[in-house]
Amino acid sequence: MLGLSGYEISLITSMGIAVIFALSLNFITGFCGQISLGHAAFYGIGAYTSAMLTKAGMPLGVGIMGAVILAGMAGIVVGFTSLRVRHDFLAITTMGVGFLFLGIMRQWDFVGGEMGVSGIPGSDLGKSGFMLLVLGFVILTALFSLHLKRSWMGYSFDAIADDEDTAKVIGLDVSRYKLAAFAIGTALAGLAGALYAHNVRFIDPESFGFVESITVLAMVVIGGIGSVFGVIFAAAVLSVLPLWIQFIDEYKLLLYGGLLFVMMRFSPGGIAGLMKQIMSLKASKNNSLNAPGGVDQ
């Protein structure tokens, strides 16, 4: 239909889902500064919800909507924990949520337990149509991210991320904004999970384990915490890198860990921060060259 092979369509679809997933964590960790090490749990909630609803005969749209709502509600519940704990304690708490989700899914026969859910209905749009649907959600998520980042809510998120105590002093309702960040981020993770389930048409608990939480965190950190375009670029590249270079998949955690170390050591702002530094150096060089006496005669 679009002149693309089946493999290319599958690749672009997977890439788009990864971008949505990474942008969803960017709301929590990037914008609001709340560390989450269990974000894959909400990805899984969305996947299981949409899978079970559509297997019960519901339309795809209903499945996706249900995934977004349920994942967002779960995020609000977990968000309440962020009101009492911070930093390392919040990271440990969210990591516990991820393990709790895995434990429930493995023991719950209604959702297939260890065997997972197979025979998930695909989209009536076909592979090309589903790819366009995913890309449409990518564009909407990116635009929403940019709009929110430049809104009063985005500025409030920045204040909380920089110094939560100071944000309280200047009159911000920190609790409300932190809950909003968790609700938005987890709802979008549910969207990504639903799209993932209907793309691969089989899910099991291992698809949403700790490795996935670390992978999506790596995408956000490497792209640039809080940067929309940086996260999109990192998610797109890192999601397909194991497919392009097969042996990398076996050493994915080692690769991501190494990239995280290098970025935090040499460019804490990630790819986005690195690009800003390069542009700043170029601008400084041009200004010095254009200044009187800046060029040797």
Please give, one letter per residue, the 3-state secondary structure of the chain: CCCCCHHHHHHHHHHHHHHHHHHHHHHHHHHCCCCCCCCHHHHHHHHHHHHHHHHCCCCHHHHHHHHHHHHHHHHHHHHHHHCCCCHHHHHHHHHHHHHHHHHHHHHCHHHCHHHCEECCCCCCCHHHHHHHHHHHHHHHHHHHHHHHHCCHHHHHHHHHHHCHHHHHHCCCCHHHHHHHHHHHHHHHHHHHHHHHHHHHCEECHHHHCHHHHHHHHHHHHHHCCCCHHHHHHHHHHHHHHHHHCHHHHHHHHHHHHHHHHHHHHHCCCHHHHHHHHHHHHHHHHHHHHHCCCCCCC
pLDDT of residue 68: 96
- Are 21 and 43 in contact, with CB atoms under 8 Å apart? yes
- What pLDDT is attached to residue 60? 92
Tens of pLDDT, residue by residue over 121-134, are: 888 888 889 999 99
CB 193 within 8 A of CB 43: yes
**Protein fold of 6-290:** ABC transporter involved in vitamin B12 uptake, BtuC (1.10.3470)
Domain ranges of the chain: 6-290
pLDDT of residue 297: 39
**pTM for the predicted model, two decimal places:** 0.89
Ranges of the chain whose pLDDT falls below 50:
295-297
Residue 273 confidence (pLDDT): 67
pLDDT for the residue 286: 67
Yes or no: say if 205 and 105 are a contact pair by the CB < 8 Å rule: yes
